[in-house]
A and B are shown apart, each in its own frame.
Chain A
Amino acid sequence: MSEPTPTPSQTVGPFFHFALDYPGGPQLVPGHHPDAIALHGTVWDGSDAAVPDAVIEIWQTDAAGQVPRGLGSLDRDGITFTGFGRAATNRAGGYVFTTLRPGSGFVTLAVFARGLSHHLFTRAYLDPEADDRLLASLPDDRRGSLLATRETATSYRFDIRLQGERETVFLEYP
């Protein structure tokens, strides 16, 4: 038997909130967790308009750099760090996660939106000095799009630009 052929993607469409939003989706850890950080930003389109109907997913290691294996991303117990979160953008195109600083140095994001027929992967690096193969491979004028801006000791900003001069670097895996 030959290998099965992949199922194509389709847009998430405009009407996903009632299905994909869930309580605690953006809170990988509670905001009062002593090591909690905020990872937040705005999604922009090619005309610099905010995208109010995107949904962002993050997936990351724990603080020690280990791959989380625990269940409970949809029904959080407040204790287990599952490494997965989901946040829809608000009317201003913004999203906010509360999470832990990933031991690996980066958070992987998947971006879905109306008008986007196939989701986009990217990474937010929290340490601008990270010794990383991907960062090292990028031209200087594009590398910055993957660096989250440290605003305070516990808050990082990561805007996502779907199109345009400051377009985010999006990834494909071989």
Chain B
Amino acid sequence: MNAAAFAAQQQTNRPETDQRQILAEIREIETDAAALVAAGGSPEIHPRRDYPPYRSSLLRHPTHQLVRVDPEEIERHSPAFGHTDVDPLESDLTIQHTGEPIGERITVTGRVLDGEGRPVRHQLVELWQANSAGRYVHKRDQHPAPLDPNFTGVGRAITGDDGSYSFRTIKPGPYPWRNHTNAWRPAHIHFSLFGTEFTQRLVTQMYFPGDPLFALDPIYQSIADPAARERLVGSYDHDSSVPEQSLGYRWDIVLTGSRSTWLEPEDADE
């Protein structure tokens, strides 16, 4: 049976999968990944695209190896964004409506860096999230949690000279999804990032420290290396908490694409 037929069968006549089954699958893959590292392999930086515990990945991952290619000049540059694209007020998600959103007010602050630790300056950061009840302003999110008329959950910012960004928002709630029975996503904020090269493009999610759902979540766990996935967890930062206003979280983001200092191969003219 090929992958597609297997996946189709999984979709149509699989019995209700429970959390125990998902956990067993997660552990098996993590053990496998750890064995690869123990045998001298590099830890996996990114999630596995083929990650069966995340059921939607079954039919949506390529089965061929990615083709390695030297980036062309255009790919060693990134689209330019700036003051004409983003209003400074877009980084405050708590002032987009006439009233105050419900929930725990937080700030999320950090720096966007490249693989050599240099700041990614004047570049676009986009963010989106559920409200404090775990509901998205999206017609396909129909789970019975309230929408908040004073919260949309979308923000944008342009990084500063030091690569820094800062958003003011409310802490999102966890929410249910249909990967398996009683599946819940840990609270998270989606981030979209551009680097200095298009090869550094990144879409990811930031999580909050100590979430009891981490171990159960096949999206978080799709990053097989424990140290790698912990890099998605922001840290509580009391120094950025504002008295009687908001709690502060810090999260730095490191983008890597092709080698940052790209040299034309010697046979480029051949």
Chain B residues touching A, majority SS: loop
Q: Is the CB of B74 within 8 A of A46?
A: no
Q: A113–B68 Cα gap in the complex (Å)?
A: 22
A78: B residues at CB distance < 8 A: none
Q: A110–B4 Cα gap in the complex (Å)?
A: 23
The number of inter-chain residue pairs (CB within 8 angstroms) is 244
Q: Is the CB of B60 within 8 A of A73?
A: no
Binds A, one of B16-24, B94-102, B227-235: B227-235
Assuming the contacts A18-B128, A162-B59, asked whether A46 and B4 have C-beta atoms less than 8 A apart, the reply is yes
* Contact count band on A: 35 or more
Q: Is the CB of B128 within 8 A of A51?
A: no
Q: Which residue of chain A has the shortest Cβ distance to B47 in the bound complex? A: A117
Chain A residues touching B, majority SS: loop
Q: Is the CB of A118 within 8 A of B152?
A: no
State which of A19, A67, A117 has its C-beta within 8 Å of the C-beta of B54: A117
State which of A84, A110, A117, A133 has its C-beta within 8 Å of the C-beta of B222: A117
Q: Is the CB of A59 within 8 A of B60?
A: no
**What is the distance, in angstroms, from B217's C-beta to the closest C-beta of chain A?**
10
Q: A114–B218 Cα gap in the complex (Å)?
A: 13
Q: Is the CB of A5 within 8 A of B67?
A: no
Q: A6–B45 Cα gap in the complex (Å)?
A: 7
B73 within 8 A of A: yes
Q: A119–B257 Cα gap in the complex (Å)?
A: 12
B227: A residues at CB distance < 8 A: 5
Q: Which residue of chain A has the shortest Cβ distance to B222 in the bound complex? A: A117
State which of A12, A71, A72 has its C-beta within 8 Å of the C-beta of B203: A12
A1 within 8 A of B: yes
Pull 26 A–B residue pairs with CB atoms less than 8 Å apart, ordered by A: A6-B45, A8-B232, A10-B203, A12-B190, A12-B203, A14-B141, A20-B126, A20-B128, A45-B59, A47-B59, A70-B80, A71-B80, A74-B81, A74-B156, A82-B79, A83-B79, A115-B61, A116-B49, A117-B51, A117-B222, A167-B62, A167-B63, A172-B66, A172-B67, A173-B68, A174-B68
In the A-B complex, the 10 residue pairs with the smallest Cβ-Cβ separation, listed nearest first, are: A115-B56, A19-B128, A84-B79, A117-B47, A173-B258, A115-B60, A74-B85, A172-B66, A46-B59, A46-B4
Q: A12-B203, A19-B190, A117-B47 known; 5 other A-B pairs, CB under 8 Å?
A: A18-B136, A47-B4, A59-B198, A60-B74, A104-B74
